[in-house]
Amino acid sequence: MLHNIKYELFIRMRAKGLVFWMILFPVALGAFFKISFSNIYDEYTSFSTVPAAVVENVENPVFHTVTDEISKEDNPLLEVTYTDKEDALTLLKEQKVSGIIWLDEEVSLSVASDSIEATILESFLNQYKRQEKIITDTLETNPAALESVISEMNSETESCVRIPLTEGNTDNLLNYYYNLIAMVALFGSEGGLEAAIRNQGNLSAVAARKGTSPAKKSVTLLSSLISACIVQALCCALTVTYVNFILKINFGGSLPFVYLSGLIGSVLGVSLGFMIGSIGKAGENAKTGICMAVSLASCFFSGLMVNTMKPMIIEKAPWFNDINPAALISDAFYCLNVYSDYSRYIQKNITMIILSVLMAAIGFILTRRRKYASL
Amino acid sequence: MAETIVKIENLVKRYKDLIAVDHLNLEIKKGEVYGLLGPNGSGKSTTINSMLSLLAYDKGSIEIFGKEMTPVSYDIKKKIGIIMQDVAVFDELTVYENIDYFCGLYIKDKETRKKYVTDAVNFTGLNDFLKFYPKKLSGGLLRRLNIACGIAHKPELIILDEPTVAVDPQSRNKILEGIQELNRNGATIIYTSHYMEEVEQICTRIAIMDKGRKIAEGTKEELKRMIKNTETITVETENVPDEILSRINDLSHVYETEQSEGRLIIRCGGGKHNLIRVLSVLQEAELNFGRVYTELPTLNDVFLEITGKVLRDREE
Residues 6+ apart with CB under 8 A from B247: B281, B285
Condensed to tens digits (0 to 9), the pLDDT of residues A113-143 reads 777 778 888 888 887 877 777 777 777 777 7
| CB-based contact, B296 to chain A, within 8 Å | no
Question: What does B118-136 look like in DSSP terms, one character per residue?
Answer: HHHHHHHT-GGGTT--GGG
The minimal CB distance from B80 to the residues A206, A212, A216 is found for: A212
Highest mean pLDDT among A89-93, A171-175, B62-66: B62-66
The mean-pLDDT minimum among A17-31, A126-140, A264-278, B301-315 falls in B301-315
Contact B82 A214 (CB under 8 A): no
Q: CA dihedral in degrees (A132, A137, A139, A145; nearest 10)?
A: -90
- Residues A320-332 as b/e (b if ≥16 CB within 10 A, e otherwise) read ebeebbbbbbbbb
- Residues B289-314 as b/e (b if ≥16 CB within 10 A, e otherwise) read eeeeeeeebbbbbbbbeebeeebbee
CA distance B5 to A175: 65
Q: Which residues of A touch B146 (CB under 8 A)?
A: none
Query: Domain residues of chain A, as ranges?
Result: 2-41+170-367, 47-161
Instruction: Give the pLDDT band (50/70/90) at residue A170.
Output: low
Contact present, A321 and A327 (Cβ < 8 Å): yes
User: How many other CB atoms are found less than 10 A from the CB of residue A224?
Assistant: 27
Instruction: Give the pLDDT band (50/70/90) at residue B315.
Output: very low
Bridge partners (DSSP) of residue A181 are: none
Q: Which residues of A touch B80 (CB under 8 A)?
A: 212
Contact B92 A15 (CB under 8 A): yes
Please tell me which residue of chain B has the smallest CA distance to A209. B88
Please tell me which residue of chain A has the smallest CA distance to B96. A7
Condensed to tens digits (0 to 9), the pLDDT of residues B37-85 reads 888 888 999 999 999 998 999 999 999 999 999 888 999 999 999 998 8
Using the predicted structure, report yes or no on whether residue A39 has a pLDDT greater than 70.
no
Q: Kindly state the average pLDDT of the residues B144-164.
A: 92
Instruction: Give the pLDDT band (50/70/90) at residue B302.
Output: confident
Bridge partners (DSSP) of residue B159 are: B82, B190
The minimal CB distance from B77 to the residues A4, A212, A372 is found for: A212
Instruction: Give the pLDDT band (50/70/90) at residue A214.
Output: very high
User: Where are any strands of DSSP class E within chain B?
Assistant: 4-15, 18-29, 33-37, 59-64, 67-68, 80-83, 157-161, 188-193, 205-210, 213-218, 231-236, 254-260, 263-268, 292-295
Domains of chain B (ranges, CATH numbers):
4-225 (3.40.50.300), 231-296 (3.30.70.870)
Condensed to tens digits (0 to 9), the pLDDT of residues B8-39 reads 999 999 998 899 999 999 999 999 999 998 88
Contact A210 B105 (CB under 8 A): yes
**Residue in A335, A339, A338, A363 with CA at minimum distance from that of residue A349:** A335
In degrees and rounded to multiples of 5, residue B138 shows phi and psi of: -75, 170
- Look at residue A360 in the predicted model and tell me its pLDDT: 93
Q: Which residues of B touch A205 (CB under 8 A)?
A: 84, 86-88
| CB-based contact, B71 to chain A, within 8 Å | yes
CA distance B165 to B198: 11
| CB-based contact, B92 to chain A, within 8 Å | yes
Q: Kindly state the average pLDDT of the residues B160-187.
A: 87
Q: Which residues of A touch B75 (CB under 8 A)?
A: 214
User: B196 CA to chain A: closest CA distance, Å?
Assistant: 25
Please tell me which residue of chain B has the smallest CA distance to A4. B101
Q: Which residues of B touch A4 (CB under 8 A)?
A: 104-105
Contact A206 B54 (CB under 8 A): no
- Look at residue A5 in the predicted model and tell me its pLDDT: 93
Q: Which residues of B touch A212 (CB under 8 A)?
A: 52, 54, 77, 80, 82
- Look at residue A45 in the predicted model and tell me its pLDDT: 52
A168 vs A211: which has the higher pLDDT: A211
Edge-to-edge order in the sheet of strand B263-268: B254-260, B263-268, B231-236, B292-295
Amino acid at A246: I
Give chain A's contact residues with B (Cβ, < 8 Å). Answer: 3-4, 7, 10-12, 14-15, 201, 205-206, 208-216, 220, 370-375
- Look at residue A42 in the predicted model and tell me its pLDDT: 55
Instruction: Give the pLDDT band (50/70/90) at residue A20.
Output: confident
The minimal CB distance from A209 to the residues B56, B100, B102 is found for: B102
A308 vs B235: which has the higher pLDDT: B235
Q: For chain B, first and last CA: distance in Å?
A: 39
Contact present, A32 and A112 (Cβ < 8 Å): no
**Residue in B210, B212, B207, B199 with CA at minimum distance from that of residue B298:** B199
User: How many other CB atoms are found less than 10 A from the CB of residue A177?
Assistant: 26
- Best probe of the B interface among A2, A210, A213, A369, by most B CBs < 10 A, is A213
CB proximity under 8 Å: B 113-152 to A: 149-150
- Look at residue B195 in the predicted model and tell me its pLDDT: 85
**Residue in B314, B48, B27 with CA at minimum distance from that of residue B196:** B314
- Residues B87-125 as b/e (b if ≥16 CB within 10 A, e otherwise) read bbbbebbbbbbbbbbbbbbbbeeeeebeebbeebbebbe
Bridge partners (DSSP) of residue A81 are: A53
Q: Kindly state the average pLDDT of the residues A229-250.
A: 89
Highest mean pLDDT among A57-66, A152-161, A283-292, B116-125: B116-125
Contact present, B6 and B27 (Cβ < 8 Å): yes
* B254-260 and B263-268 beta bridge pairing: antiparallel
Using the predicted structure, report yes or no on whether residue B106 has a pLDDT greater than 50.
yes
Q: Which residues of A touch B60 (CB under 8 A)?
A: none
CA distance A164 to B304: 89
| CB-based contact, B205 to chain A, within 8 Å | no
Q: What CA–CA distances, in Å, run from A230 to A160, A223, A263, A328, B91?
A: 46, 11, 9, 20, 20
Q: Which residues of A touch B15 (CB under 8 A)?
A: 374
Contact B55 A211 (CB under 8 A): no
Query: Under CATH, which number does the domain A47-161 receive?
Result: 3.40.190
User: B243 CA to chain A: closest CA distance, Å?
Assistant: 57
Instruction: Give the pLDDT band (50/70/90) at residue A156.
Output: low
CA distance A313 to A297: 13
CA distance B42 to B199: 16
Amino acid at A351: T
- Look at residue B313 in the predicted model and tell me its pLDDT: 45
Using the predicted structure, report yes or no on whether residue A319 has a pLDDT greater than 80.
yes
The minimal CB distance from A212 to the residues B54, B90, B93 is found for: B54
In degrees and rounded to multiples of 5, residue A28 shows phi and psi of: -65, -45
Q: What is the SS3 string spanning A192-243?
A: HHHHHHCCCCCCCHHHHHHHCCCCCHHHHHHHHHHHHHHHHHHHHHHHHHHH
% pLDDT > 70, chain B: 97
User: A357 CA to chain B: closest CA distance, Å?
Assistant: 26
In degrees and rounded to multiples of 5, residue A224 shows phi and psi of: -60, -45
In degrees and rounded to multiples of 5, residue B156 shows phi and psi of: -85, -30
Instruction: Give the pLDDT band (50/70/90) at residue A230.
Output: very high
Condensed to tens digits (0 to 9), the pLDDT of residues B248-259 reads 999 989 998 988
User: A221 CA to chain B: closest CA distance, Å?
Assistant: 13
